[in-house]
A and B are shown apart, each in its own frame.
Chain A
Amino acid sequence: MDLLDLFLQQLINGLSLGSLYALIAVGYTVVYGIVQLINFAHGEIFMIGAFGAYATWMLMGQPTDWNAPMSILVLLPVLIIGGVAASVTVALLTERYAYRPLRNAPRLAPLISAIGVSVFLQEAVRLFYGEIPGFPTAKSAIPFPSIPGISGSAFQFGGVTVQMTAVFTVGALAVCTVFLWFFVNRTKTGRAMIATSQDPDTARLMGINVDKVIMAAFAVGAALAAIAGVAHGLRYSNIDFRMGFLAGLKAFTAAVLGGIGNINGAVVGGLVLGVVEAMATTFIPGQFGSAAWKDVWAFVLLILVLVFRPQGLLGAKVVDRA
């Protein structure tokens, strides 16, 4: 494999991994833009999305014999809907019961509450292991169903292979970004979200129900995180209750990288982070380029950005026009 092929291969791997980060990062950024809360439990919302999809698959009787078109057109959408429903429900419940009562409390209080929610959700899922008939007892990883049609390689050019799961992940990000742009710029709730992120009191004077806007922010973030959860399951073929921790941390890094509060920034930040990780494991020589070091490089990048461009790549603060 020549150097160019290697570069392109890693670029594709990086964009696919970065799309995963980006889908999760949007949730951090949208919520931060509106309530200035770093929702530390968002990684767990992503995990719940994966488990929601998995639970849906079990409820459907663990179908394995569907043909590819049916799987892509029916099974996959159903799993995604199941995951989104689970994530959105849990996100709205945490907003209502863990964050809303603390809205006027000092900033530290909701942050600690978020950490509590994060631990709670991890443990709650872990305790289901082996308790529900059909739920594996394995304490580490649960095999995620593979969807016929979304496995193996999609196409190949030269020495570069593009996996189906990569196509799915990047495609999901593209679709979600378009949807998000439309939502923020063309719907009333979206406009209300921008107004609330800029000046919540004045937004209320306009007749905007800020509680509803906050719920919408949590719901949108959770829905994208759930899609990322399904993409993660398909990409790595297994899921576990801890998967939200590192993914959440990376996605948070991506959000800060792009400029927290800025939706475009979250997408760009996610992609940049994914590509940097992929490149670092290939082009940094010796043990520093090993897979074990990729997380180190990811956070080195975060520190560099925070030192030299603290507002993030695209600028921070408000939920800007997506």
Chain B
Amino acid sequence: MLEVKDLVVAYGRVNAVKGITFEVGKGQVVTLLGTNGAGKSTTLRSISGLLKPVSGEIWFEGERLDGLPAHKIVERGIAQSPEGRRLFRQMSVEDNLKLGAFSRKDTSGVKADMDRVYDLFPVLGERRTEAAGLFSGGEQQMLAIGRAMMCRPKLLMLDEPSMGLSPIMTQTIMRTIKELQADGVTILLVEQNAQAALSLADKGYVLEVGHIVFSDSGRNLLGDDRVRRTYLGAD
């Protein structure tokens, strides 16, 4: 469904992503692991069209994406919940969700999807008219995910959805990801919490300073010594 080939992305003259190749199959949950600064967010931002790659190719459902402006990529069915949530803090929950559906014209479908987000995260429904900035970190994360779902993406990219969340909240988020997968949404997940991510990922890629150093199924990576040492804190 999504194919990234030899992707190189730079900030100024410094390459942050140095030629990575990976694939996300339809209906899968795929995770990108890596230490701070490995290039995970940079990768997602280039898939979304916020960054222009220096070289390499990004293909989605047989169509080449790199070079398209970000709003066209959203129209193709790719949504991103960015690192640090990036909500429109002064706007209400409802307005944030409406902006998530900006590219859509089917008003009734938008309404239905909004109700679905409220079903998934009842606290958002109860306080839908309050400004997003007034919510707790975990609640804001729910809103960020909900907002990304509002464009009915085929591919949903989540950049560290569990950042700063309690274990119980992290579990809720991970359960939501599973539910979305069951609904047929393909997911590309960037996580610091490798344990949680690998437990539900079909496949994982490990990035180090802009390179993919290895990849395997989620289950195998959970048992992999290198992963256990670096990302799961085991000796």
A residues near B103, Cβ cutoff 8 Å: 206-207
Hey, what's the 0/1 contact readout for A101-140 against B, CB within 8 Å counting as 1? 0000000000000000000000000000000000000000
- Is B95 close to A, CB under 8 A? yes
Query: Is B86 at the interface (CB under 8 A from chain A)?
Result: yes
The winner among A191, A207, A210 for most chain B CB atoms within 10 A is A207
A192 in contact (CB, < 8 A): yes
Chain B contact residue count (CB 8 A cutoff)? 25
CB < 8 Å neighbour of A207 from B74, B82, B86, B90: B74
**A209 and B88 contacting across the interface, CB-CB below 8 Å:** no
A33 and B71 alpha carbons, distance in the complex (Å): 21
Residues 60-104 of chain B: 1 if any A CB is under 8 Å from the residue's CB, otherwise 0?
000000000111001100011010001011110001001110110
Q: Once the chains bind, are B50 and A207 in contact (CB under 8 Å)?
A: no
Q: CB distance B88 to A195 under 8 Å?
A: yes
Chain B residues with CB under 8 A of A191: 95, 98-99
Closest Cβ–Cβ distance, residue B52 to chain A (whole Å): 11
* Given A192-B102, A195-B99: A206 in contact with B74 (beta carbons within 8 A): yes
The answer to whether A204 and B50 touch (CB under 8 A), given A191-B99, A192-B102, is yes
Interface pair A205/B98, CB less than 8 Å apart: no
Judge whether A199 and B86 touch: CB under 8 Å.
Answer: yes
Q: Within 8 Å CB of A206, what residues of B? A: 74, 99-100, 102-103, 147, 151
Pick from A194, A206, A208, A210 the residue with the most CB of B within 10 Å: A206
Specify which chain B residues have a CB less than 8 angstroms from the CB of A202 in the assembled complex.
82, 86, 88
Binary CB contact string for chain B from 28 to 50 against chain A (1 if under 8 A, 0 otherwise): 00000000000000000000111
Which of A188, A198, A320 interacts with B88 by CB under 8 Å? Answer: A198
Complex Cα–Cα for A202 and B159 (A): 13
Contacts A199-B86, A205-B50; A194 near B70 (Cβ below 8 A): no
Chain A residues in 8 Å Cβ range of B147: 206
Q: Which residues of A contact B80 (CB under 8 A)?
A: 205
Of residues B88, B89, B100, which shows the largest number of chain A Cβ atoms within 10 Å of its Cβ?
B88
* Chain A 164-192 per-residue mask, 1 if CB under 8 angstroms from chain B, else 0: 00000000000000000000000010011
Q: Which residues of A contact B49 (CB under 8 A)?
A: 204
Query: Which of A194, A199, A201, A207 is the one whose CB lies under 8 Å from B102?
Result: A207
Which of these, A188, A208, A209, A318, contacts B90 with CB under 8 Å?
A318
**Cβ contacts under 8 Å, A201 to chain B:** 50, 82, 86
For the complex formed, measure the closest distance between the CB of A199 and the CB atoms of chain B, giving whole angstroms: 6
* B82 CB contacts on chain A under 8 angstroms: 201-202, 205
User: Are B71's CB and A209's CB within 8 A?
Assistant: yes
Name the residue on B nearest A321 (C-beta): B90
Give the most central of A188, A195, A211: most B CB within 10 Å: A195
Residue of A nearest to B98 (CB): A191
Min distance, Cβ A320 to any Cβ of chain B, angstroms: 8
What 0/1 readout, one digit per residue, does chain B (147-174) give for beta carbons within 8 Å of chain A? 1100100000000000000000000000
Within 8 A of B (CB), among A290-322: 318, 320
A205 / chain B contacts, CB cutoff of 8 Å? 48, 50, 70, 74, 79-80, 82, 86, 148
Q: For A198, what are the chain B residues with a Cβ–Cβ distance below 8 Å?
A: 88-91
Question: Given A188-B102, A199-B88, do A209 and B69 touch, yes or no (CB 8 Å)?
Answer: yes
29 A-B pairs with C-beta separation under 8 A: A188-B102, A191-B98, A195-B88, A198-B88, A198-B90, A199-B88, A201-B82, A202-B82, A202-B86, A202-B88, A203-B99, A204-B50, A204-B70, A205-B48, A205-B50, A205-B70, A205-B74, A205-B82, A205-B148, A206-B99, A206-B102, A206-B103, A206-B147, A207-B71, A207-B103, A208-B71, A208-B99, A211-B69, A318-B90
Given contacts A191-B95, A201-B82, 14 further A-B contacts (CB under 8 A): A195-B88, A195-B91, A199-B86, A199-B88, A201-B50, A205-B74, A205-B79, A205-B80, A205-B86, A205-B148, A206-B151, A207-B75, A207-B102, A209-B71
